[in-house]
Amino acid sequence: MIYVDVKGNLGNQLFIYAFARNLQEKTGQKICLNTTYLSKYFPDYTFSLDDYKLNENVYIESKKNLPFFMNIYMLPIKVIIRLLKKNPIINKKFSIRLFNFLAKRGYFLWLQETYINFKIRPHKNYYVTGFWQSPKYFDYFSEELKKELTPQKEVLAYNRDFFDLIRHKETICVTIRRGDYISNAKIKNSYYLCGPDFFYTGVKRLRDKYPDAIVICFSDDIEWVKTNLDFHCETYYESGNDPVWEKLRLMSACKHFVLSNSSFSWWAAYLSSRNGHVIAPSKWYVDNRQVDIYREGWEYIEV
């Protein structure tokens, strides 16, 4: 069995699931998505993977703890992580050595934003803790993965006309992330906040190439977007009230993308089948730490 610590909201959960499927592809083991720590430490977060057509050998568990040393929310471990982050060089070296030591024994613990290469040794069980935000882990079976990451429910009745418009027009999905990037001090100090100029520049670049393109706005603060952003072209807005699986489906139906530095936005572009143009901010984190979330062929705007 592959026991997986599920973290974050849907964008993070999708990366974690994709990494677990990578292990499953290579080991043949079943997957257990463990929501114990998610519900215990993050009651405001919602487990959303059960809204998708996941692989048939995936199970959900809410009461099984992972090995104690993989519980990164325990106070002693949180203190160690905090101390290590004060020195990025030492942090990276220590993380690599710890990962390699544990991976040999079937424990995959990786909290860095970069891809790490590893060999899988045969074990009865595997344990996974991390965010795994790199397509290098799962690009090799992307078509199969995309089929699994299809919502179980059909398009909601009130969105059918909107969905058809998105699919059949030259559409630009603009994702404006605000929410906890503004209200949560810890997150605000980590993630760069894309401002209006970024979105204006991105839309202009795409409309210069595709003059007939229309803009579809998605945001966790859609009323702010309506009040503060004007793209001077035909523009539509998602209601802001859709469940996340519906919102992501509408987003991924677009052809082109101007993405915020958000894992949820990232998946919209990844799941799209329309081979459009993707624009993203050059900076994902405030501290410019190295990441592997960017994809080949994307265009970047300096921020």
Q: What is the pLDDT of residues 199-209, one digit of tens each?
A: 999 999 999 99
Name residues whose C-beta falls within 8 Å of residue 80's C-beta, 6 or more positions apart in sequence.
none
CA dihedral over 133, 170, 49, 53, signed as positive or negative: negative
CA distance 222 to 108: 38
- Token code pair at residue 213: 């393109």
**What pLDDT does 289 receive?**
79
Residue 47 CA, distance from chain mean position? 14
Smallest Cα–Cα separation from 127: which of 2, 303, 33? 2
Average pLDDT, the chain: 91
Q: What stretches of 28-151 show up as alpha helix (H) in DSSP?
A: 36-41, 75-85, 88-103, 142-148
- Token code pair at residue 156: 């909601």
pLDDT digits (tens, 9 = 90+) for 51-103: 999 988 999 988 777 888 888 888 888 888 888 888 888 888 999 999 999 99
pLDDT confidence band for 189 (50 / 70 / 90): low
Q: Is the pLDDT of residue 179 over 80?
A: no
pLDDT digits (tens, 9 = 90+) for 240-250: 899 999 999 99
**What pLDDT does 185 receive?**
62
pLDDT confidence band for 183 (50 / 70 / 90): low
CA distance 46 to 244: 10
Coil, helix or strand at residue 77: helix
Q: Is the pLDDT of residue 270 over 80?
A: yes
